[in-house]
Amino acid sequence: MTPPPDSRPASSRPPFAVVLNPQAGRGLAGREWPRVERELKARGFPYQLVQASSGPDACAALARLPADWPALAVGGDGTAHGLLPELYRSGRSLGLVPLGSGNDLASLLGLRAGDLETALDRLTRPPQRLDLLEVTLNGSVGGQPVLLLNGLGMGFDAQVADLMTLAPARLLGLPLGGFPRYLWAALTGLRRLETGQLRVTLDGQPFYSGPSCLAAVMNGGQYGGGFRIAPGSDPQDGLLNVVLGTQLSRSALLPLMARVLQGRHLGHPRVRHARAQHAELSWQSPMQTHLDGELAGRHEQLSVRLLPGALSVLSGRP
């Protein structure tokens, strides 16, 4: 049975530590903040604005606040991703007002970008527990793991994430943001398609060895603002999802992308997929890597471990 919403008056609940990224969504979060602030005040939600210029700075600022103060991320995927170390350490809950470009974390939670009313309604719900991914990259400083909520990609999709930083603001007179921006980068990235030799081990057992142009390890179901790379993924089931594109030419990858949009690619003969609790990926040569959509450079090896129920969220699905 789902617990009832918190019936306490809003003013008697712990304040929200609001982490605002005004640059998210190419400035959308900053432009919308006055409206968000008005709604918080109208609903009687106490809050304190956390001023920070980076994820580590935001984590340090949150760590100085009482642990029962939930964090409210106002921005995009990167804003929420940057808070994960402190949320995991302290156990404080996460709320989300999605105002970014891709908003894949919002999709994971069943929220729509810009739907302020639903996002704030969720903040009165009892917290839910979601799984996290703990990633150890070869060559990372001190071998320190990185926490992810949505997932990671190596190969083509990471190259696309890189190209998104170069996408024009407008194309043919129309703004290029969100999914259209990702699609522009994906089509551009086809010219740079790389295939490398990949070995994958799941829960200690060999799963795949051979050529691959992309590998995704997911907790959520989509990335790129709409590409359903891991349909059916459940961030509460205690399993991570591995999806591999094997030996794919440019001409074969383009129609496969259309199938990914609909989540119909898992039956494709050039796609391998499985679920596990621990995954190890090893490439013969370094491949471009993204973590929750954030570029992480080129890596040859990484290890991903699932942390069941490691994150408390207020913005979960009803």
Q: Taking the model in full, what pTM does it have?
A: 0.88
Read off the pLDDT of residues 162-188 as tens digits, 9 standing for 90 and up: 777 766 666 656 666 666 777 777 777
Read off the pLDDT of residues 247-305 as tens digits, 9 standing for 90 and up: 888 888 878 888 988 899 999 999 999 999 999 999 999 999 999 988 899 999 999 99
Q: Is the pLDDT of residue 201 over 50?
A: yes
> What are the extents of the domains in the chain?
10-126, 133-309
Indicate left, alpha or beta for 45 from its phi (over 0: left) and psi (-120 to 50: alpha). Answer: beta
One fold for both 10-126 and 133-309?
Answer: no
How far CA 289 is from CA of 151, 158, 183, 215, 298, in Å, comes to: 11, 5, 18, 10, 6
Q: What is the CATH code for 133-309?
A: 2.60.200.40
Comparing CA positions, the residue from 280, 120, 142, 100 lying closest to residue 203 is: 280
Residue with tokens 């996408």: 167
Mode of pairing for the β-strands spanning 146-148 and 151-155: unpaired
* pLDDT value of position 211: 96
Domain 10-126 has CATH 3.40.50.10330: yes
* pLDDT value of position 115: 86
Read off the pLDDT of residues 11-31 as tens digits, 9 standing for 90 and up: 578 999 999 988 887 788 889
Tell me the pLDDT of the chain averaged across its residues: 88
